[in-house]
Amino acid sequence: MLMYALYKVLDAPFDFTVTDMPSLRKWWCVMLIENLDLGSHGKLFAHWTDASKALLRGEVLPVFKLKKRRRDDIHEGPLDNIVAGVAWLRENAGLLRGKVVEPAFPNMDTKEQQELLERIRSSTDEEEKYPLLFTFDFQEDMEVFLNMAAEEDLRVNAMFLGRWVDSQ
């Protein structure tokens, strides 16, 4: 957005593309560092600049690192996620009030699954995703399921058929 603002101010034609963005971000950072005075903050953050330079040179390790996920924690694809979701539904059916229609995807043969995934990638038609959907009678049931999916780091799709529980 900054490049668009700069070009508008300079009344210049937009002649950059998305492939230029890494270079433009670096240029903007250099411009900001060279032209903005930190004032009294310079003393406050002086230690940070030396530490960051050492980090960039690879002399010190970063303080915060992302937790590495074990291989068995990673779900390989939609089939693994859906199978785990189906297993959870069958084990916890008593938590749900209404009926749940499980996705058709696990029951397809491998060729059909691959064809479906290709159609989904190349199409904007939402109906292509129906074989991947868990369909719930009640919104509350769907929310319970999606909360579990989030806790288990499952990537699943769900919808409900429009039944709300009146809280009166």
Instruction: Tell me whether strands 133-138 and 157-163 are parallel, antiparallel or unpaired.
Output: parallel
Locate tokens 């916890």: which residue?
92
pLDDT (tens place) for every residue of the chain, 168 residues total? 667 777 777 777 877 777 777 777 777 777 766 666 555 454 555 555 666 677 667 787 665 544 554 544 444 567 788 899 999 999 998 888 888 999 998 888 889 988 888 888 888 888 888 888 999 988 889 889 998 988 888 888 888 776 555 544
The C-alpha atoms of residue 13 and residue 7 are separated, in whole angstroms, by 7
Q: Where are the domains of the chain?
A: 2-57, 71-163
With contact defined as beta carbons under 8 Å apart, do 70 and 61 qualify? no
For residue 85, the model assigns a pLDDT of: 92
For residue 88, the model assigns a pLDDT of: 92
Structure tokens at 126: 């939402």
Question: Across 63-156, where does the E strand assignment appear?
Answer: 100-101, 133-138
Compute how many other C-beta atoms are within 10 angstroms of the C-beta atom of residue 19: 7
Q: Which residues are CB-contacts of 2 (< 8 A; sequence separation ≥ 6)?
A: 28
- The answer to pTM > 0.75 is no
